[in-house]
Amino acid sequence: MGRVLATGSGVVLDLIRSGQATTRTDLVDHLGWSRITLSRRLNELLDASIIVSAGQLSSRGGRPPEEFAVHKDAGLLLAIDIGSSHTRLGLTDLVSTVLIEDEADIGFPEGPERIVEWVTQVVDYMLEQLGTTRADVHGIGLGVPAPVDTATGHITTPDVEPVWKGVVLPDLFTGEFPAVCAAERDVNIMALAESRLGWPDYRHLVVLKAGVGVSCGLILDGRIYRGWQGGAGELSRPAPPDGRQRRVEYVASGGTIRRELLSRGHSVRTSADIVSLASAGNDDALELLADAGYTIGDTLIGVVAALNPQALVVGGNLAEAGDPFVIAVREAVRAGVPDVAGAGLVVEQARLGDKAGVIGASLIAQDALFDPDRISRITRDAR
């Protein structure tokens, strides 16, 4: 949908948030507005405590320009990254700097009621630690391990856990917090965080999340590509001998490695246990991680060839093993990708590690809170 307030204050805020223009001169140059119109919009944002003056930049000749920034301390964002067996959450400021976080072995299959109960208990404790209240939470970002239709807030996969059928994800916490809420697939929030903060100079990324499950997030021209019904990024490959397609996590993932290690007499429960075993030099864990890396890398050849990204970012719990897994993915991709797509392709470990989910959830909360049309309406109504 196009901007309904094309000259509203939200358009100005969008440029300030992105860093494209943070001074009056740069904003006028980007927008083509008169200085009077721009001053009105800046005053609206300042009066609403949405932005602050961040001081003066070095002079370019004449009076030093005043720089504007988001008022990061004007509230909090709640970031929730729900995994298949583990959930992380954090409170951040309004520019997604993590202030406090927690985690627990509670996952998606336990259902929305149990997760909401746990989250609210933990958040109340964290708010108390920060000397704040629920009223200070202005935005909520929620990641789940399933495709999400961001227009409706519903999970779209047909085989979703029964307790999640029909649940409108952004509505889960609206009764607990007076906040704007956004929901997204877990691999997409990870990809968004890596794109904006880990690899800010890269506009085209494929971000692999390899843990108990395996999927990838697609960043095209700096934006999440979700496909129809949010299902982009699912990976599958033929399974011999019949050649029928199977999801790659049934062939190579933290889950398949765990089962094989258990059959060989090793005590492992999570992907983190697999990484710990590999870090201790266990040959079985190292072998299985490399095998999984090659298989997943081979599966990604078609994705890289079709999308021609600047980088393939290898993340998720298995990537925490480092070289044994990442090198295998890199070698498999480079062995099969066409020259055009492979020229200059970077294949490296994710830079944000296990922080990516919470940061990404905070970023979608930030985007929802500072949606340009929403901000334009709020400041217009206040005026």
Q: What is the mean pLDDT of residues 333-339?
A: 92
Confidence of residue 212 (pLDDT cuts 50, 70, 90): confident
Token digits for 131? 């000397």
Residue 3 in this model has a pLDDT that exceeds 50: no
Token digits for 230? 């949010």
pLDDT at site 315 = 95
Q: What is the mean pLDDT of residues 325-352?
A: 93
pLDDT at site 179 = 95
Residue 130 in this model has a pLDDT that exceeds 70: yes
pLDDT at site 84 = 83
The string of DSSP codes covering 271-309 is HHHHHHHHHTT-HHHHHHHHHHHHHHHHHHHHHHHHH--
Helix, coil or strand: residue 47: helix
pLDDT at site 132 = 97
CA distance 331 to 205: 18
Whole-number average pLDDT of the chain: 92
Residue 245 in this model has a pLDDT that exceeds 90: no
CA distance 113 to 90: 19
pLDDT at site 174 = 86
Q: What is the mean pLDDT of residues 316-340?
A: 94
Using alpha carbons only, how large is the chain's radius of gyration in Å? 22
Lowest mean pLDDT among 48-57, 65-74, 300-309: 48-57
Query: Fold match between 9-70 and 200-350?
Result: no
Helix, coil or strand: residue 374: helix
- Nearest-10 Cα torsion for 247, 253, 258, 263: 60
| Domain 9-70 sits in CATH 1.10.10.10 | yes
Q: What is the CATH number of domain 200-350?
A: 3.30.420.40
- Phi first, then psi: give them for residue 323, nearest 5 degrees: -55, -45
CA distance 356 to 319: 13
pLDDT at site 1 = 35
Token digits for 118? 């746990």
With a threshold of 0.85, does the pTM exceed it? yes
Residue 246 in this model has a pLDDT that exceeds 70: yes
Helix, coil or strand: residue 251: coil
CA distance 333 to 309: 12
Q: What is the mean pLDDT of residues 228-237?
A: 85
Cα atoms in the 13 Å half-sphere on the side-chain side of 55:
2
CA distance 316 to 212: 9
What is the CATH topology of the domain spanning 76-186+358-369? Nucleotidyltransferase; domain 5 (3.30.420)
- Strand ranges of the sheet holding 346-349, from the earlier edge strand across to the other edge: 223-225, 214-220, 205-210, 311-315, 346-349
CA distance 363 to 358: 9
Run of H or E including 225: strand 223-225
Q: What is the mean pLDDT of residues 245-253?
A: 85
Question: Hey, CA dihedral for 279, 280, 285, 291, is it positive or negative?
Answer: positive
pLDDT at site 2 = 43
Confidence of residue 272 (pLDDT cuts 50, 70, 90): confident
Q: Residue ranges of the domains in the chain?
A: 9-70, 76-186+358-369, 200-350
pLDDT at site 4 = 44
CB atoms within 10 A of CB 350: 24
pLDDT at site 193 = 98
Q: What is the mean pLDDT of residues 278-282?
A: 95
Those residues whose C-beta lies under 8 Å from the C-beta of residue 153, and which sit 6 or more positions away, are 168, 169, 170, 171, 183
pLDDT per position as a tens digit, 40-67: 999 999 999 999 998 765 555 556 789 9
Lowest mean pLDDT among 141-150, 152-161, 354-363: 152-161
- Nearest-10 Cα torsion for 144, 147, 151, 152: -70
Residue 235 in this model has a pLDDT that exceeds 70: yes
In sequence order, which ranges of the chain are alpha helices (DSSP H)? 9-18, 24-31, 35-47, 112-130, 186-193, 254-263, 271-279, 283-307, 323-336, 339-342, 356-369, 372-382
